[in-house]
């Protein structure tokens, strides 16, 4: 998670006591630092961190049951979609969809499961915990599980009707990125877990979409590569700082949000161009916008590297991660 363990030093808080996991985690960071960050110490850090998360999660049956109900609902919806898809496309297409989602689910489900303990036990000073997987988290998680639909839909970029569906789905998923925050504020059920899950889903969404569009020759690789790096780099730097000191508060900046707007429009225009085939959008204007987007992303990446180094070496500054 991008904002995992955002607060390192415990703060006195009557409303949110430190969990057993937090205490074990701080001790683990101290032992890793004492071992001079040798590879064996880092590997032991990861294994012990996962074990401690499972132990902490085992103490929260309500959270687990709530999450599993939501997960079963998402899977039922996807299975229904694939069943409808199988009647309109060959069996090969249905199997492709099922395989893509199975791989995607196997990669993302454990990461979300391992961080459910933050729903009920947020870090000190981060507000109250919750014992349910409420609607804002459900919207975010459903957006995560719907990403394979787009990946499968781009299997035939020359088929305009499929691209029209993908464009509508893309717009819906992009709007849902704001819906979860609106729900959290309206229902007063915002959680530290939700704030950590949202940027993780954004990373998976943009990296998956940019790479899929590039593989299908819908966008050039010189545009897809900066998109992937802009979203993957903060995740790598966050892990470095997680091992280095135990975490750091990750905040959004206006510059990072500007880059996210450019990325969203660039990918959306690429899908719209395929949806409007055979005419499409004016190629010269589309290419010029992609060039501007790449320039903005390169500047974003430079800022991320600079801010990340400030955090790692000086223990201060802001690391852009939540677009």
Domains of the chain, by residue range, sit at: 60-212, 219-323
| Residue 29 in tokens | 């960071």
Query: How much is the pTM?
Result: 0.80
The count of residues in the chain is 323
**3-class state of residue 139 by DSSP:** helix
Q: What is the pLDDT of residue 9?
A: 38
Return the DSSP state at 114: T
Other residues' Cβ atoms within 10 Å of the Cβ of residue 204 = 19
- Kindly tell me if the per-residue pLDDT of 83 is higher than 70: yes
Q: Which of 122-126, 231-235, 313-317 has the lowest mean pLDDT?
A: 313-317
CB distance 108 to 117 below 8 Å: no
| Residue 41 in tokens | 């110490």
Torsion (CA) 264, 266, 267, 269 in degrees, nearest 10: 110
Work out the mean pLDDT of the chain and round it to a whole number.
Answer: 78
CB distance 280 to 274 below 8 Å: yes
The CA-CA-CA angle for residues 40, 41, 43, to 5°, reads 65
Return the DSSP state at 131: S
What separation in angstroms does the CA of 259 have from each of 164, 207, 229?
25, 14, 12
Other residues' Cβ atoms within 10 Å of the Cβ of residue 281 = 15
- Kindly tell me if the per-residue pLDDT of 319 is higher than 60: no
Which pLDDT band holds residue 16 (cuts at 50, 70, 90)? very low
- Kindly tell me if the per-residue pLDDT of 317 is higher than 50: no
- Kindly tell me if the per-residue pLDDT of 243 is higher than 80: no
Other residues' Cβ atoms within 10 Å of the Cβ of residue 317 = 14
- Work out the percent of the chain whose per-residue pLDDT is above 70: 81
CB distance 235 to 252 below 8 Å: no
Give the span between the Cα atoms of 56 and 54, in whole angstroms. Answer: 5
User: Which pLDDT tens digit goes with each residue over 140-192?
Assistant: 998 898 888 788 777 666 666 778 888 888 898 888 888 888 888 888 888 88
């Amino acid at each position: 998670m991008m904002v995992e363990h955002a607060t390192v030093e415990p703060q006195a808080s009557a409303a949110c006591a430190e969990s057993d996991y937090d205490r074990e985690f701080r001790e683990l960071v101290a032992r890793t630092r004492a071992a001079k960050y040798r590879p064996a110490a880092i590997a032991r850090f990861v294994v012990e961190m996962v074990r401690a998360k499972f132990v902490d999660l085992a103490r929260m049956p309500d959270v687990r049951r709530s999450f599993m109900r939501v997960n079963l609902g998402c899977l039922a919806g996807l299975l229904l979609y694939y069943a409808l898809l199988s009647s309109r496309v060959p069996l090969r297409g249905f199997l492709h969809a099922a395989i893509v989602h199975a791989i995607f689910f196997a990669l993302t489900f454990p990461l979300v499961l391992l961080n459910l303990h933050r729903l009920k036990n947020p870090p000190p000073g981060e507000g109250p915990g919750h014992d349910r997987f409420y609607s804002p988290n459900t919207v975010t998680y459903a957006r995560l599980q719907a990403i394979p639909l787009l990946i499968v839909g781009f299997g035939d970029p020359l088929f305009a009707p499929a691209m029209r569906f993908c464009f509508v789905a893309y717009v819906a998923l992009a709007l849902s990125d704001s819906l979860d925050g609106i729900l959290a504020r309206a229902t007063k059920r915002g959680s530290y877990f939700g704030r950590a899950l949202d940027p993780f889903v954004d990373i998976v969404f943009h990296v998956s979409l940019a790479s899929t569009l590039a593989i299908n020759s819908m966008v050039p690789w010189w545009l897809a590569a900066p998109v992937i790096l802009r979203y993957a780099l903060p995740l790598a730097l966050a892990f470095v700082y997680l091992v280095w000191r135990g975490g750091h508060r990750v905040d959004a900046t206006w510059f990072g949000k500007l880059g996210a707007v450019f990325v969203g429009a660039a990918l959306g225009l690429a899908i719209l161009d395929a949806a409007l085939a055979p005419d499409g959008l004016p190629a010269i204007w589309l290419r010029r916008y992609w060039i501007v987007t790449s320039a903005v992303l390169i500047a974003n990446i430079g800022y991320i590297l600079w801010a990340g180094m400030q955090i790692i070496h000086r223990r201060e500054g802001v690391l852009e991660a939540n677009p």
